[in-house]
């Protein structure tokens, strides 16, 4: 009898869990359909894949229970603030701290400050809008033109064969609302470069339901600016659209700079020819792009190169024959001389994930990389491999040996690799032992990866796979989930991840500014210096597990970030850094 009752209980539990999952899936599908009416066929495809066992709609783990107040039920919606770093899902609910959270932020002159709020409707609604007044300070104001408001559209995100829905695209205009599904609004305040220190106050108006809601909002401006970047600081995203005409490339460059990037990364801009033992280089693209790089303040220019393979094909000679070597060195000398004469931003030739199992034409095996780094280095070219790991294949030039890429790390100028991914820790340790500049890539399209993690690993910068790679609203396109910005009918559309990345860059700049303030202080044993060092120690110990992300997201932290709840701590640490800088600078 007991066994029978237990079996019945288990069956009931399974039915209940199944019903819950069905409810969540319906909510996810509704959210997607509402936000992408032109792509309903995509939803149908996903349902089909799920029935075939090809796809599973993963659920976000929301444990917060919520019941709207009597007043908000009558009004038809609840407004609450939330931390911008935490993604919003169709089944997200406000916590008690969210309901009490004030709308506000803090920063330095020139920062873009995100402030987010959510509207949770009781019934289906249309044309929910949020507007913000000017922010009045002690002696001046941040004008309303410096404040933009966008709402977050939901999107399917692939993680291997799992898919889950989170907020992604930031779009302008009124938002549709549907019962029980929160809609996030993203307010961005651009603090003027000349803003005086102090607290700037204004008002947010939410138009929804039966009556509007008005809420106070404030931004505290610190009395200092970030320390200047140093030589090796390099933040970049791969701009997938090569070198289009203006204004498209101007808009992209401005967007990249506004999000903290100081290095422009795109396709190889140097077409080459070879005749009679001589290399010639076409600089027409470079002559057009270099003035734009200078205009938008990029301090370096990076591109994936396969020049060693190209010249092998053009010369028609055996790989690494005297003629092939001479052509590669000649190419490097021509480009280096042109860049020096034109006072170009620093050129960084990147070689994508050297490996022995690559196609022969790409020439990125152990011996290819060794020769390429050495020859281009002699010609005055800065090289930078993106190491995916230390090796593990037999060398093509000598099958009796294994390809150990750590043997090559001393040759290139920069070395780039993942963090939070065990196979690359050997690379990181070797780079540091040689006192070479370390850069990171594909550690996660999130704030933690671009800020605290970058500093914790002793790196000078970070990158994510794509700035943009998929057309807007097409979630089944490869790498759609890795895109940080996409092109829509109204121009560039940012994602929430792209905004998170900017916040990570700011975290890094706060740390850098604090370190410089400590170094400049003439009382190394003072209470102010000790307090500042204690803040850095807290940041050093702040960790997020790496999770089990896959190449679809190009993000080894994605699974860990799915239910991430540590964003408030990051803000607390940033505020502590700000106060420590003020104290050390005596402001």
Same-domain status, 195 and 322: no
Residues 6+ apart with CB under 8 A from 325: 371, 375
In this prediction, residue 496 has a pLDDT band, given cuts at 50, 70 and 90, of very high
Task: Evaluate if residue 180 carries a pLDDT over 60.
Answer: yes
The reply to whether 282 falls in a domain is yes
Residue 290 has pLDDT above 70, yes or no: yes
CA separation for the pair 580, 578 (Å, rounded)? 5
Residue 11: per-residue pLDDT: 33
Residue (of 534, 563, 557) closest to 544 by Cα position? 557
Q: Which residue has the tokens 């500093």?
A: 455
pLDDT interval class at 549 (50, 70, 90): very low
The first and second tokens of residue 181, run together, are 């599904």
Domain boundary among 166, 195, 221: 221
Euclidean distance between CA atoms 459 and 483, whole angstroms: 23
Q: Return the higher-pLDDT residue of 586 and 433.
A: 433
pLDDT attached to residue 550:
43
Number of neighbouring beta carbons within 10 Å of residue 371: 19
Average pLDDT over residues 477-496: 76
Query: Is pLDDT of 508 > 90?
Result: yes
Mean pLDDT of 460-489: 72
Supply the pTM of this predicted model. Answer: 0.92
Segment 165-174 shows an average pLDDT of 88
More confident residue, 219 or 161: 219
Residue after which a domain boundary falls, among 221, 252, 283: 221
- Average pLDDT value for residue range 369-376: 98
- What pLDDT is stored for residue 149 in this prediction? 98
How high is the pLDDT of residue 576?
Answer: 98
Q: 251 and 183: one domain?
A: no
pLDDT in tens, 389-445: 898 899 999 999 999 999 999 999 999 999 877 789 999 999 999 999 999 998 888
pLDDT at res. 239: 87
What kind and span of H or E run contains 303?
strand 300-304
3-state helix, strand, coil in the chain (%, to 5): 40, 25, 35
With respect to residue 227, please indicate whether it lies within any of the assigned structural domains: no
Query: Above 90 in pLDDT, residue 465?
Result: no
Distance CA 22, CA 523 (A): 63
**Would you say residue 384 lies in a domain?**
yes
Alpha-carbon gap, residue 150 to 148, rounded angstroms: 7
DSSP string, 367-422: HHHHHHHHHHHHHT--EEEEESSSEEEE-SS-TTSEEEGGGGTTSSS-EEE-SS-H
Interatomic CA distance for residues 544 and 387, integer angstroms: 22
Q: Based on the fold, state whether residues 325 and 191 are members of the same structural domain.
A: no
Whether residues 327 and 413 fall in one domain: yes
Q: What is the mean pLDDT of residues 526-539?
A: 97
Residue 322 pLDDT > 80: yes
Helix (H, G, I), strand (E, B) or coil at 544: coil
Indicate whether 38 belongs to any domain.
yes
80 with 181: CB under 8 angstroms?
no
Q: How many domains does the chain contain in total?
A: 3
32-41, 89-98, 111-120, 561-570 — most confident range: 111-120
Q: Please state, as a whole number, how many other Cβ atoms lie within 10 Å of the Cβ of residue 217.
A: 22
Please report, for the domain that includes residue 430, its CATH number: 3.20.20.80
Q: Is residue 109 part of a domain?
A: yes
Q: What is the reported pLDDT for 136?
A: 98
- Looking at the fold, whether 428 and 467 belong to one and the same domain comes out as yes
Residue 414 and residue 354 share a domain? yes
Tell me the C-alpha distance between 134 and 415, whole Å. 46
Give the end of a domain, one of 221, 247, 262: 221
> Is the CA virtual torsion 550, 555, 556, 562 positive or negative?
negative
- The answer, yes or no, to whether residue 321 has pLDDT greater than 90, is yes
| 212 within a domain of the structure (yes/no) | yes
Q: What is the pLDDT of residue 44?
A: 62
Residue 23's domain spans which residues?
A: 2-57
Q: What is the pLDDT of residue 7?
A: 38
For the residues 82-88, what does the mean pLDDT come to? 90
Confidence (pLDDT) at 3 = 44
Q: In CATH, what number is assigned to the domain containing residue 179? A: 2.60.40.10
Question: First vs last Cα of the chain: how many Å apart?
Answer: 76
Residue range 320-332: mean pLDDT, rounded: 98
Question: HEC string of 155-215?
Answer: EEEEECCEEEEEEEEEECCCEEEECCECEEEEEEEECCCCCCCEEEEEEEEEECCCCCEEE
Q: Are residues 308 and 360 in the same domain?
A: yes
Place of tokens 């750590």: 406
**What is the DSSP pairing of strand 263-266 with strand 300-304?**
parallel
**E strand or H helix at 488:** strand 485-488
Helical (H) or strand (E) element with 46: helix 40-51
Same domain, 50 and 181: no
State the pairing for strand pair 56-57/162-171. Answer: parallel
Q: How far apart are CA 311 and CA 587, in angstroms?
A: 58
The answer to whether position 584 is within a domain reads no
Between CA 485 and CA 253 the distance in angstroms is: 12
- Within a domain: residue 540? no
What's the rounded Cα separation, in Å, for the pair 253 and 514?
A: 28
β-pairing, 383-387 vs 415-417, is parallel
Q: What is the pLDDT of residue 21?
A: 56
Do 264 and 144 lie in one domain? The reply is no
Residues 117 and 212 in one domain: yes
Do residue 355 and residue 320 come from a single domain? yes
Instruction: Give the model's confidence band at 16: pLDDT under 50 very low, under 70 low, under 90 confident, else very high.
Output: very low
CA distances from 387 to 228, 365, 452 (A): 28, 12, 21
> Given this model, what pLDDT does residue 358 score?
72
Residues 315 and 399 grouped into a single domain: yes
How far apart (Å, rounded) are the C-alpha atoms in residues 178 and 124? 4
Q: What is the spatial distance between Cα 587 and Cα 581, in angstroms, rounded to a whole number?
A: 9
% of the chain residues with pLDDT over 90: 69
What does the pLDDT read at residue 469? 67
Find how far residue 489's CA is from the centre of its chain: 23
Give ∠ CA 38-42-48 in degrees, rounded to 5.
Answer: 150
């Amino acid at each position: 009898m007991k066994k029978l009752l237990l079996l019945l209980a288990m069956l009931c539990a399974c039915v209940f869990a199944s019903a819950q999952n069905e409810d969540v899936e319906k909510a996810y599908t509704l959210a997607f359909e509402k936000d992408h009416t032109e792509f309903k066929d995509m939803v149908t495809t996903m349902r089909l894949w799920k029935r075939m066992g090809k796809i599973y709609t993963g659920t976000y783990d929301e444990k917060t229970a919520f019941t709207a107040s009597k007043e908000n039920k009558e009004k038809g919606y609840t407004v609450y603030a939330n931390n911008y770093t935490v993604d919003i899902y169709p089944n997200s609910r406000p916590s008690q701290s969210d309901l009490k959270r004030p709308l506000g932020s803090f920063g330095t002159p020139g920062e873009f400050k995100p402030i987010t709020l959510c509207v949770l409707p009781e019934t289906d609604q249309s044309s929910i809008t949020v507007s913000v007044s000017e922010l009045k300070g002690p002696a001046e104001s941040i004008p309303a033109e410096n404040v933009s408001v966008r709402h977050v559209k939901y999107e399917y995100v692939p993680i291997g064969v799992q898919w889950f829905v989170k907020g992604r695209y930031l779009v302008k205009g009124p938002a549709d609302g549907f019962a029980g599904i929160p809609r996030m609004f993203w307010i961005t305040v651009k603090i003027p470069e000349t803003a005086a220190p102090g607290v700037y106050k204004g008002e947010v108006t939410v138009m929804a339901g039966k009556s509007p809601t008005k809420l106070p909002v404030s931004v505290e401006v610190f009395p200092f600016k970030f320390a200047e970047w140093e030589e090796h600081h390099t933040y970049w995203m791969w701009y997938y659209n090569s070198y289009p005409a203006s204004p498209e490339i101007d808009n992209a460059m401005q967007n990249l700079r506004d999000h903290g990037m100081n290095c422009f990364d795109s396709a190889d801009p140097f077409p080459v020819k070879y005749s009679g033992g001589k290399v010639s280089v076409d600089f027409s693209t470079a002559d057009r792009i270099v003035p734009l790089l200078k205009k938008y303040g990029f301090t370096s220019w990076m591109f994936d190169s396969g020049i060693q393979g190209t010249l092998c094909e053009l010369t028609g000679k055996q790989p690494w024959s005297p003629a092939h070597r001479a052509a590669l060195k000649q190419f490097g000398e021509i480009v280096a001389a042109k860049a020096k004469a034109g006072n170009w931003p620093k050129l960084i030739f990147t070689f994508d994930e050297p490996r022995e199992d690559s196609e022969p034409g790409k020439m990125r095996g152990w011996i290819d990389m060794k020769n390429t780094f050495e020859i281009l280095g002699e010609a005055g070219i800065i090289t930078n491999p993106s190491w995916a790991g230390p090796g593990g294949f037999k060398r093509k030039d000598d099958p009796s040996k294994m390809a150990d890429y750590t043997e090559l790390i001393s040759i290139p100028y920069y070395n780039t690799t993942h963090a939070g991914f065990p196979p690359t820790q050997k690379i990181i340790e070797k780079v540091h032992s040689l006192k070479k500049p370390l850069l990171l890539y594909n550690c996660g399209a999130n704030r933690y990866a671009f800020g605290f993690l970058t500093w914790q690993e002793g790196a000078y910068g970070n990158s994510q796979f794509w700035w943009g790679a998929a057309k807007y609203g097409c979630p089944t396109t490869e790498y759609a989930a890795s895109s940080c910005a996409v092109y829509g009918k109204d121009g560039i559309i940012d994602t929430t991840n792209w905004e998170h990345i900017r916040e990570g860059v700011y975290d890094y700049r706060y740390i850098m500014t604090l370190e410089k303030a400590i170094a400049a202080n003439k009382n190394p044993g003072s209470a102010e210096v000790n307090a500042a060092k204690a803040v850095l120690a807290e940041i050093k110990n702040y960790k997020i597990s790496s999770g089990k992300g896959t190449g679809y997201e190009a993000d080894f932290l994605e699974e860990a970030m799915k239910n991430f709840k540590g964003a408030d701590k990051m803000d607390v640490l940033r505020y502590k850094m700000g106060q420590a800088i003020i104290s050390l600078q005596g402001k």
